């Protein structure tokens, strides 16, 4: 079985912990079986590999999330990168072309597409396995998983089945309704559309070639920016006549807001946080190096990071997105394939970052045309490469890199360093990558 996990998100709903490169699925608020903090994407991959150990896992994602995926998952999954965001149908088409042309998956194999961010127990991924079996043995071209609703929600689309059997033909789809309309859907036996569906790979390749102009994966990748922005539901599901839905009645939560996250995060507080005895139903996450003291807080969520501070009533936190969009601050924290960087100070002409590299990792060999950089090693040991010349570094060492010089650093142990960038124009776009010297 092949599983494609769709990893998107703009990083607005769990601000200030999430941003455009650190979407909600990368925030470590859960715990694994050993009590270590893990993110949503780590939890999902761990569950899949436990329940469906023979499955082949591919994450379809944007360029901005690739570093975080490699940081958190290493080489445990394949990654299909979208050159830009074009909605779910082009993303799935690109991922299927990647499976066929790059990973050489047989066109007859079953593929199940799932979102990367539900909070579920293992029965969900057992159901994903059954959906794959239904795809291989059933008659329908497209098989969906429908979630048995627990309340009349306005947040989800609905699937109307033809019968109340565990597997039924689909009668029709309905858009996100108001609460009263949702109540009528529930009386009809409707199911939430959770964006989980299975098909044979050849089916999706045929749909992709029907709706997009390309020859193979690499050709589609090169033309991806010209692909129409359209969801899989609109492009395929709502037009397919041979379609079935399988019911799932287990635990399922769409953790899309702080209010929902507060229900499932491992601990009510994380970081340097103190609650007095009068606080009730309050969750606090503190990523800063300063303490947070809360007194008399009721039904609140408080989150602090180097990107900002949120203080909100839990229910009201679900309506924060338009306000966050008005905050035009740059990203001050990101996970990279080699570790993390945190912006400490930003002034005109200078940028100061704290960089942490994991043992055995290294930055890409690169240069900047419009800025100089100075690295001061705080802890750990490694090797700096500047214009082909290697230099061993240790705590207290300082390395200056002039504009135009090619440079990289490799961590022999976990390393922490301060990076000061100096230049009239400091931009993430001012970067040119080179092959590492032999």
Mind listing the pLDDT tens digit for each residue in 9-19?
Answer: 766 889 999 88
Shared domain for 294 and 174, answered yes or no, is no
Task: Say if residue 396 is in the same domain as residue 422.
Answer: yes
pLDDT of residue 85: 87
Q: What is the mean pLDDT of residues 397-418?
A: 97
pLDDT digits (tens, 9 = 90+) for 87-113: 999 999 999 999 999 999 999 999 999
Same-domain status, 179 and 41 = yes
Asked if the model's pLDDT at residue 64 lies above 90, the reply is no
Structural domains in the chain (count): 3
Residues 287, 236, single domain; the answer is no
CATH number of the domain enclosing 96: 3.90.550.10
Query: What's the pLDDT at 10?
Result: 63
Pair 299, 375 in one domain? no
Q: Is residue 292 part of a domain?
A: yes
Claim to verify: residue 222 and residue 103 sit in the same structural domain: yes
User: Helix (H, G, I), strand (E, B), or coil: what is residue 183?
Assistant: helix
d(CA 333, CA 372): 21
The pTM assigned to this predicted structure is 0.85
Domain annotation covers residue 333: no
59, 80 Cβ separation under 8 angstroms:
yes
The pLDDT tens digits for 151-188 are 998 888 999 999 999 999 999 999 888 999 999 999 99
CA–CA distance, 91 with 80 (Å, rounded to integer)? 9
- Is the residue at 330 inside a domain? no
163 and 270: one domain?
no
Asked if residue 222 and residue 280 are part of one domain, the reply reads: no
Q: Which of 208, 237, 254 is the last residue of a domain?
A: 254
Q: Is residue 20 domain-resident?
A: yes
For residue 7, how far is the Cα from the chain centroid?
A: 4
Task: For residues 246 and 287, state if they share a domain.
Answer: no
Report the phi/psi class of residue 9: left, alpha or beta, with left for phi > 0 and alpha for psi in -120 to 50. Answer: left
Residue 328 confidence class, pLDDT cut points 50, 70, 90: low
DSSP symbols for 245-268: EEEE-S-EEE--SHHHHHHHSSSS
Is residue 329 in a domain? Answer: no
The total of other beta-carbon atoms located within 10 Å of residue 176's CB is 13
pLDDT tens-digit series, residues 116-150: 988 999 999 999 999 999 999 989 999 999 999 99
CATH number at residue 416: 2.60.120.10
Say whether both 250 and 267 belong to one domain: no
Q: Does some domain include residue 326? A: no
159 and 295 co-located in one domain: no
Enumerate the H helices of 102-244 as residue ranges.
122-137, 179-187, 201-211, 217-223, 232-235
Dihedral over Cα of 421, 412, 58, 131: its sign:
negative
> Domain check: are 273 and 195 in the same one?
no
Which domain range does residue 66 map to? 2-254
């Amino acid at each position: 079985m092949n599983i494609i996990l769709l990893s998107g998100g703009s990083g607005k709903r769990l601000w200030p912990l999430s941003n455009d490169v650190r979407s909600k699925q990368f925030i470590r608020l859960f715990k694994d079986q050993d009590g270590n903090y893990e993110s949503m994407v780590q939890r999902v991959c761990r569950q899949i590999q436990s329940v469906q150990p023979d499955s082949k896992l591919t994450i379809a994602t944007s360029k901005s999330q690739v570093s975080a995926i490699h940081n958190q998952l290493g080489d445990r999954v394949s990654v299909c990168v979208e050159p830009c965001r074009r909605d779910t149908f082009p993303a799935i088409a690109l991922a299927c072309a990647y499976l066929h042309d790059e990973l050489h998956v047989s066109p007859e194999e079953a593929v199940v597409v799932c979102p990367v961010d539900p909070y579920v127990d293992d029965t969900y991924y057992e159901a994903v396995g059954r959906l794959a079996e239904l795809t291989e043995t059933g008659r329908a071209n497209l098989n969906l998983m429908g979630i048995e609703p627990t309340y009349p929600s306005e947040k989800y689309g609905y699937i109307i089945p033809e019968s109340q059997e565990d597997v039924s033909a689909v009668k029709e789809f309905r858009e996100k309704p108001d609460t009263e309309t949702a109540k009528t859907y529930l009386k009809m036996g409707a199911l939430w559309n959770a964006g989980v569906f299975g098909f044979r790979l050849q089916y999706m390749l045929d749909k992709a070639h029907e709706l997009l102009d390309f020859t193979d994966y690499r050709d589609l990748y090169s033309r991806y920016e010209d692909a129409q922005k359209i969801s899989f539901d609109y492009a395929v599901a709502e037009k397919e006549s041979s379609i079935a839905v399988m019911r799932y009645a287990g635990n399922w939560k769409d953790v899309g807001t702080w209010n929902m996250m507060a229900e499932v995060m491992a601990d009510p507080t994380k970081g340097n946080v103190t609650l007095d005895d009068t606080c009730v139903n309050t969750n606090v996450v503190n990523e800063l190096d300063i303490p947070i003291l809360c007194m008399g807080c009721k039904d609140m969520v408080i989150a602090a990071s180097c990107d900002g501070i949120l203080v909100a009533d839990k229910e009201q936190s679900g309506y924060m997105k338009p306000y966050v969009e008005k905050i035009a601050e740059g990203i001050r924290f990101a996970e990279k394939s080699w570790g993390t960087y945190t912006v400490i100070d930003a002034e005109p002409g200078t940028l100061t970052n704290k960089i942490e590299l994991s043992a055995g990792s290294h930055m890409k060999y690169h240069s900047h045309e419009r800025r100089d950089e100075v690295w001061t090693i705080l802890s750990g040991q490694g090797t700096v490469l500047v214009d082909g010349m290697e230099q061993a570094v240790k705590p207290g060492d300082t390395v200056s890199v002039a504009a135009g010089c090619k440079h990289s650093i490799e961590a022999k142990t976990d390393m922490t360093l301060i990076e000061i960038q100096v230049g009239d124009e400091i931009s993430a776009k001012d970067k040119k990558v080179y092959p590492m010297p032999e």
